[in-house]
Amino acid sequence: MANSKQARKRAIQAVARNKHLSAQRSRYRTAIKSVRKAVLAGDKEVAQKTYQKAQSVIDSMADKGVLHKNAAARHKTRLVASIKAMA
């Protein structure tokens, strides 16, 4: 329990930050899932279009610090590899 005014403020800020970052992570995960779903469906054209949207979301998360830049690069590489493997 926060006893000082500063600690109470930090607790409130932590809750707000957690809520915001949770929404950002959810958006990122949904983007990845949509690409994987298109790959499993076997539709390469749709997979490429969803990848382009997902790529911007992943880059955005890396820029904001929600996701490490190397993790973002790894996810993008694996998604591209799965799309290329469809041919």
pLDDT tens track for 5-19: 999 999 999 999 999
Number of domains present in the structure of the chain = 1
Whether 1 has a pLDDT exceeding 80, the answer reads: no
Global pTM exceeds 0.75: yes
**CATH code of the domain containing 46:** 1.20.58.110
pLDDT tens track for 25-77: 999 999 999 999 999 999 999 999 999 999 999 999 999 999 999 999 999 99
CA neighbor of 79 nearest in space, from 11, 68, 49: 49
Confidence of residue 2 (pLDDT cuts 50, 70, 90): confident
User: By residue range, what is the domain housing residue 59?
Assistant: 5-84
Cα–Cα distance measured from residue 20 to residue 68, given in angstroms and rounded to the nearest whole number:
17
